[in-house]
Structure 1
Amino acid sequence: MKQRTWPDRSECSRFAALPLAEINGKKDKELHQPEVHSRKYGSLSRQIHFYTRSSSSSSSSSSDVHDFSTLPYDVLTRIAANFTLPNLLAASLVCRSWRDGLRPLREAMLFLRWGKRFKHGRGGVRPNLRKALDSFLKGAACGSTLAMVDAGLIYWEMGKKEEGIAWYRKAAALGDPAGQCNLGISYLQAEPPNMKEAVKWLYQASCAGHVRAQYQLALCLHHGRGVDCNLPEAARWYLKAAEGGYVRAMYNISLCYSFGEGLVHSHRQARKWMKRAADHGHSKAQFEHGLGLFSEGEMMKAVVYLELATRAGETAASHVKNVILQQLSATSRDRVMILADSWRALPSSR
């Protein structure tokens, strides 16, 4: 089923048909893909400093000097549970105690790597979901939230949603934004949906900078699902997600600027974000941007975007494109097709 991020112009209400997530069929996989978030080593120091301050508050010592090497291993591994390999390696160089304490998480990175190889058929191995799941579970047992999220995803793809949600929940509890986002989306899909829990976890992931969560939270705020309808807040999260590279958010924030919904009307901003969404491969944005270029007399550019939209399945773009092509010379028509054939979408966060 073809999903939409915004209602068609022909609908009486611009916000009546915004879906909460593209969750049907194979297209929903991308909503659950775990994302590797780079975390600076300084964040570990801040978290550990907070822990040691809390611990020292009950101590009679008045010294402000903290010996981080004495941090219990279970606390250290909990703090570093969602670290990526580069950050684990950096933290392991701090002292011998940290090197020893973080050994299980470094081992988890090896299981995570093999799991991804088996899942995607990389590194000279054939795709094997069973072996991928086994590797992810071993990494999760070592405490890595990245492996927990991947294990949850495999279970989800196997149709074992309860097992998948259980791993998302474990990762979310350890502060992993991808786990929090996937858990929130899982609550959106529950029968019946648990909107309050969904918004709770999506909000936590959004505050951590997870762009998919920011987009989903914006949709909830837009619809008033699990939270009061708040168009300015919805627009704010759309904008954050758009700035983070989330294409659907680029399209929606363009319409927010265009209609003045939650934001002050701005044709310039609307056009800017519509073009960005189009250049990142959003088919509706390509259609809309092509129409805008046509209205401004930019025939060649308009045809390129309309052709791209047509190839992506926007059938309405085909009629407008053909009307414009009749006004162009044979040389210009050939040039347009060459530009469309050589076009490549900009990289994005989907």
Structure 2
Amino acid sequence: MTQRTWPPKSDTPHFTALPFTKKESHQQPKISARPTKNLTRTRFKDPAAETSSSSSSRTHVRNSLKQNQQQHCDYSSLPYELLSRIAASFTLPNLKAASLVCRAWRDALQPLREAILFLRWGKRFKHGRGGVKPNLNKALDSFLKGAARGSTLAMVDAGLLYWEMGKKEKGIALYRKAAELGDPAGQSNLGISYLHDHPPNYKEAVKWLYKASFAGYARAQYQLALCLHQGRGLDQNLQEAANWYQQAAEGGYVRAMYNTSLCYAYGEGLVKSHRLARKWMKRAADRGHSKAQFEYGLGLFSGGDMMKAVVYLELATRGGETAATHVKNVILQQLSTTSRDQAMDLADNWRALPSSR
């Protein structure tokens, strides 16, 4: 599914502490001047009888605690349907850890452990890894087998393949199943699918994007920010949009880094700050965002750093930003042959920093 990047226009909460002091009474208890006639006699207990009674009480308490502990730690009594729903989005390490809890969990989670193996084979066939040639049909078959065993991870990958094959309805059905089981990737993909509907179903899209965003899924946070920024499916809210852009950017989503930079540059939803705008623009540029490379290169050119400017503008040109070519050529004419060669060598050996795209 193609995604667009938003184009530019061409602390501490208040807290009142509660008082900790209490009003104490300084009045002394009244003592009667006259002694009471009928005084209560002190009752002496047999030490042996007291020891026996105390021991009996301790034994009773111990037995009660042991019984309660057994009741609360009886993991095997957890319904299988609930257990499989909880573990549906688990990765293999988490499944292995959960399988060690008790024998009942080990047996109940067996289908999900098998699903992870099918998921791994599906990825091998999809990308041609591990000595396996790419084969989308075998990849889809493996993903579907994993999905049939309850893995939401396999559901999402099978849905993606269906979507890429043009079988969008089948893809959406798998996204929905994964989303309803609480998988953030499934929720995000389902929300984006609704955005691509004809006509778009913004209400459902925003509903699922919110769920995935609150779960910390950066791609959903970025898409939700776009909806809030453009007023799609809900009222336009620049401040909330900027907040979700920044959360997605901090989560490593490169498009959100670029948009966060623009929010700081234009003061849309965030306090205007050229320093922070430059910081996020560089982060996006270093992760391969061609528009960010172009704009960051222009900033370097304006600041007089010709060598670095050429490198970023060359990268932007290679990324399809044709407007960067003219500026780059102007700078190259001002550099010596040695500096030109050095700049081109830096561009040739440049590697993008990792990001979640």
TM-score with structure 1 length normalisation? 0.82
Q: Which residue of structure 2 lines up, in the alignment, with residue 195 of structure 1?
A: 202
1:125 shift after superposition: 2.3
Q: Gaps spanning 5+ residues in structure 2: where?
A: 11-66
1:9 shift after superposition: 5.0
Cα distance in structure 1, aligned partners of 2:73 and 2:96: 22
Select the residue among 68, 78, 82 that pairs with 1:75: 82
Cα distance in structure 2, aligned partners of 1:9 and 1:197: 29
Q: Which residue of structure 1 lines up, in the alignment, with residue 144 of structure 2?
A: 137
Q: Secondary structure at the match of 2:208?
A: helix
Select the residue among 315, 328, 338 that pairs with 2:322: 315
Q: Which residue of structure 1 lines up, in the alignment, with residue 49 of structure 2?
A: none
Structure 1 residue runs of 4 or more that deviate by more than 6 Å after TM superposition: 61-64
Q: Structure 1 residues 241 and 172, CA, compared in 2 at 3 Å: closer, same or farther?
A: same
- State whether structure 2 residue 244 is matched by structure 1 residue 237: yes
Cα distance in structure 1, aligned partners of 2:85 and 2:174: 15
1:311 shift after superposition: 1.3
User: Over residues 90-139 of structure 1, what are the superposed CA-to-partner deviations in whole Å (9 max), with x where a residue is unaligned?
Assistant: 11111111111111100111111111122222222222222222211111
Cα distance in structure 1, aligned partners of 2:6 and 2:178: 31
Q: Structure 1 residues 212 and 252, CA, compared in 2 at 3 Å: closer, same or farther?
A: same
Cα distance in structure 2, aligned partners of 1:182 and 1:6: 19
- State whether structure 2 residue 243 is matched by structure 1 residue 256: no
Identical residues among aligned pairs (%): 80
Number of aligned pairs? 299
Q: Gaps spanning 5+ residues in structure 1: where?
A: 11-60
Q: Which residue of structure 1 lines up, in the alignment, with residue 290 of structure 2?
A: 283
Cα distance in structure 2, aligned partners of 1:62 and 1:112: 40
Q: Secondary structure at the match of 1:347?
A: coil
Cα distance in structure 1, aligned partners of 2:3 and 2:151: 33
Residues 75 and 102 in structure 2, CA contact (< 8 A), matched pair in contact too = no
Q: Structure 1 residues 3 and 188, CA, compared in 2 at 3 Å: closer, same or farther?
A: closer
Q: Structure 1 residues 76 and 172, CA, compared in 2 at 3 Å: closer, same or farther?
A: same
Select the residue among 309, 312, 316 that pairs with 1:305: 312
Cα distance in structure 2, aligned partners of 1:255 and 1:282: 14
Cα distance in structure 2, aligned partners of 1:336 and 1:70: 66
Cα distance in structure 1, aligned partners of 2:185 and 2:112: 18
What is the letter of the counterpart of residue 160 of structure 1?
Answer: K
- State whether structure 2 residue 228 is matched by structure 1 residue 221: yes
What is the letter of the counterpart of residue 129 of structure 1?
Answer: L
Q: Secondary structure at the match of 1:262?
A: coil
Residues 254 and 355 in structure 2, CA contact (< 8 A), matched pair in contact too = yes
TM-score with structure 2 length normalisation? 0.81
Structure possessing the higher radius of gyration over alpha carbons: 2
Q: Which residue of structure 2 lines up, in the alignment, with residue 38 of structure 1?
A: none
Q: Which has the higher contact order (CA 8 A, sep 6+)?
A: 1
Q: Which residue of structure 1 lines up, in the alignment, with residue 134 of structure 2?
A: 127
Residues 8 and 262 in structure 2, CA contact (< 8 A), matched pair in contact too = no
